[in-house]
Structure 1
Amino acid sequence: MIELNKSRHQVPSDPLRLMSRVYKFILPTVKTELSRIRQHASIIPDPELRKQALASIQTKEFHCQGGSVYAAANLPQRHVLIPLIVAFQTISDYLDNLCDRSTSMDADDFRLIHQSMLDAVIPDREPADYYALRTEKEDGGYLIGLVNQCRMCIRELPGYSAAQPYLVDLVGLYIDLQVYKHIKPEMREPALLAWRQKHQERAPHLHWNEFAAATGSTLGMFMLFLSACDPDLDEQAASTVHKAYFPHVCGLHIMLDYLIDQAEDRLGGDLNFCSYYESDSETLTRIEMIAASARQDIKLLPVSSFHRMIIEGLLALYLSDPKVGQHMEIKEVSRRLMRRSPLTRLFFWANSRWIRKFL
């Protein structure tokens, strides 16, 4: 029994062990958590809020599945990490739906509803009235319920005080992005360019669209949640985690997301950061550069093999998406990104297709 517990506490360093944990422990728990959240969403009084809450769960379940993989690195704490990651990611997905399909284009409204994400990671702060600036208000306690779920879990993370400033930094950047990319179309690019100029000292080698993409990822936040399970986490270690994930791991995550959504976003009139490249060749070159930088950055972390699997898993997850095969330009870039893939990425590619089809 001692050996079993010891084994479960170890960070998985090979794909077989990682996916074994994902299938046995992670996916079933994510399913349970989302089922509970879906039940609450189904009784939201306002029809538009209910529609967007249910749609965000139905169409973005894989965000919660992917994010919860971090709990595989500390199975004894999965009872804290999975509910925390699922609740936090569900807030993100729900608010993204509210902004994408919004009845408003008010920057103040977008910032106020996203205040919930800051409230979720600052447990002692007084929650805001998130719907005060929009027509739809009656969510039956859905959003504050998700915020409180995050707060309850965070209070069980012994190293959270060291991680919190870095979480607040990433959440703050995420909120800025969501505000600027959802305002009136003619205002979006000027606002994003001005914002990038304000943060020019951060990753100056990245184009403005790549920096913006990096701020849209929740992976750095999830890694900080995982790190906060360690009672000995200090400011230096938390800073290292932050540097290892932002901007390149985070940027790779969202650039891949935008890569496969290009055709869909064109139809919907949504902003897409891959559309700012002049050619497929430039798209490929820049994403390859970000991926290479991400692989270098994660060497800063203990058990870097786990984080290397995260990177290969990201490439596999997005490039195995059914949308890739529906559009020739996306298919070509994806094919070139998958060329000479290591066995680890091919293994995750096969598992990603299996999970989409059968789970």
Structure 2
Amino acid sequence: MKAPTTMWTMVYKVYKEIVPEVHMILDEWRKKAETIEDDELREYALESVNENTFHNEGGGVFALLTKEKVRKDVLWFIVSYQVICDYLDSLCDQSDSLDPNDFRSLHEALRQALHPGTLDDSVYYEHRGQKNDNGFLRELVATCQEKVAAFPGFEETQASMEELSLHYRNLQVYKHVKKEDREPLLIKWYEETKEEYPQLARMRWYEFAASTGSTLGVYALAAYASKGRMKRETAVKIKDSYFPYAQGLHILLDYFIDQEEDLADDELNFCAYYRDEEDMVERIGVFKSEAEENLKTMPDASFHTLIHKGIIAIYLADEKVQNDPEIKRVANRMIRFGGISTLFFYLNSWVFRRVGDKEKAA
């Protein structure tokens, strides 16, 4: 099964083959979340399923790289892993805890998700009073383990997936601690990590932090692992094609559309560290260009380039952008540097979101 390489084919296959399957999997996790007796944990679990559908739809696009007979397993892994990310983010964001040990223990679930045979749910809530999620998190982890263990190329991709996952887990710890500790911890982490990755020397600390907050590389690696055995060097190449620039662009756009919301909630927002609008647009443009160059070296390069352009469009078509004239003005500048493909995906995403809103309302 050849991965789509044109805008039209990509959009058709996403809406026809990926979105319905993603929604079906989310329905299964919703049913499980509804059985949680603890009111607060049930609320966070349902929020992770109900409020982040487009995270799962976006991640699900990588399943188009696979053969149809394994596509469902790839989607089950991607959606389950993403629900874990969103659930844990809610637990860290919205609870009263500021304990880094708590955040590290919660995110042990993500580590275990990529290490079949290490299922131990006694760790997750060990620093919390609320512990009874009726097996919700354990079942998510077990599902991820079951799926990746069956991928023929998982042995070769596991180390690269874990590397990206560890970056993500570290970010979730450092950005949720006491406000006065966040920036020093993130800067220290950047200074330590750039010794290992020479390309980080061309980044600012908050841009590095943004690049660790994406799951795109993990999903790309999972899709290729499902296709067959590969050389470990190939897995590393796939990882390096997504991290740091393609992942960084993804999360910088996410923070861009959340600026007003984060300001109101006094939350950390990496786009707020740019000197001004010109600085932000220029640097995001650099991430866009660097990501394109790196993705050109990927297998199925045209497919990954389309995803890259689609991500720009999906974020800039978001309702938060459309409802804020100032953010929309800046977004229009970014759409232009994305080119005609981004404009196409932007218009398509804008229409699709509104059709979806009408269906929900009905």
What range describes the TM-score normalised by the shorter chain of this pair?
over 0.9
Task: After TM superposition, give the deviation of residue 172 of structure 1 in Å.
Answer: 0.6
Structure 1 counterpart of 2:55: 63
The 1:176/1:154 distance shift into structure 2, 3 A limit, reads: same
Aligned equivalents of 1:104, 1:183: Cα separation in 2: 8
Task: After TM superposition, give the deviation of residue 340 of structure 1 in Å.
Answer: 5.6
Q: Structure 2 matches for 1:80-99, cutoff 5 A?
A: 80-99=73-92
Cα deviation per residue 1:238-275 (whole Å; 9 max; x = unaligned)?
01101100000100000000000000001111100000
Unpaired segments ≥5 residues, structure 1: 1-8
Q: Structure 2 matches for 1:13-24, cutoff 5 A?
A: 13-24=5-16
Which residue of the other structure, out of 306, 316, 319, is the alignment partner of 1:309?
A: 306
Q: Do 1:263 and 1:327's aligned partners in 2 also have CA atoms closer than 8 Å?
A: no
Structure 1 counterpart of 2:321: 324
Q: Does 1:161 align with 2:155?
A: yes
Range 240-249 or range 52-61, more displaced: 52-61
Aligned equivalents of 2:338, 2:183: Cα separation in 1: 35
Q: Do 2:66 and 2:227's aligned partners in 1 also have CA atoms closer than 8 Å?
A: no
Cα deviation per residue 1:308-347 (whole Å; 9 max; x = unaligned)?
1011001100000011133344222211111264332122
Matching residue's letter, 1:79: K
List, as ranges, runs of 4+ consecutive aligned residues in structure 1 with deviation greater than 4 Å: none
Aligned equivalents of 2:177, 2:231: Cα separation in 1: 38
Structure 2 counterpart of 1:348: 345
Structure 2 counterpart of 1:189: 183
Number of residue pairs matched?
Answer: 351
Q: Does 1:109 align with 2:106?
A: no
Q: Structure 2 matches for 1:74-223, cutoff 5 A?
A: 74-76=66-68, 77-129=70-122, 130-201=124-195, 202=197, 203-223=200-220
Aligned equivalents of 1:105, 1:218: Cα separation in 2: 24
Q: Do 1:280 and 1:329's aligned partners in 2 also have CA atoms closer than 8 Å?
A: no
Task: After TM superposition, give the deviation of residue 45 of structure 1 in Å.
Answer: 1.2
Q: Secondary structure at the match of 1:300?
A: coil
Q: Secondary structure at the match of 2:292?
A: helix
Aligned equivalents of 1:230, 1:160: Cα separation in 2: 10
Aligned equivalents of 1:206, 1:56: Cα separation in 2: 31
Q: Does 1:12 align with 2:4?
A: yes
Matching residue's letter, 2:244: P
Q: Does 1:25 align with 2:17?
A: yes
Aligned equivalents of 2:114, 2:352: Cα separation in 1: 30
Range 288-297 or range 342-351, more displaced: 342-351
Matching residue's letter, 1:118: R
Q: Secondary structure at the match of 2:107?
A: helix
Q: Does 1:268 align with 2:265?
A: yes
Matching residue's letter, 1:145: E
Cα deviation per residue 1:115-167 (whole Å; 9 max; x = unaligned)?
00000001122424201101211100000010011011112210000000001
Q: Does 1:243 align with 2:235?
A: no
Range 349-358 or range 259-268, more displaced: 349-358
Aligned equivalents of 1:252, 1:21: Cα separation in 2: 24
The 1:226/1:245 distance shift into structure 2, 3 A limit, reads: same
Q: Do 1:220 and 1:245's aligned partners in 2 also have CA atoms closer than 8 Å?
A: yes
Say what the alpha-carbon RMSD is for the aligned residues: 1.2
Unpaired segments ≥5 residues, structure 2: 357-362
Q: Do 2:336 and 2:343's aligned partners in 1 also have CA atoms closer than 8 Å?
A: no
Aligned equivalents of 1:319, 1:20: Cα separation in 2: 20
Aligned equivalents of 1:342, 1:290: Cα separation in 2: 15
Q: Secondary structure at the match of 1:339?
A: helix
Aligned equivalents of 1:236, 1:274: Cα separation in 2: 34
Matching residue's letter, 2:131: K
Range 225-234 or range 98-107, more displaced: 225-234
**Identity percentage of aligned residues:** 39
Which residue of the other structure, out of 65, 72, 86, is the alignment partner of 2:64?
A: 72
Aligned equivalents of 2:80, 2:266: Cα separation in 1: 29
Q: Does 1:337 align with 2:334?
A: yes
Matching residue's letter, 1:162: E
TM-score w.r.t. the length of structure 1 is 0.95
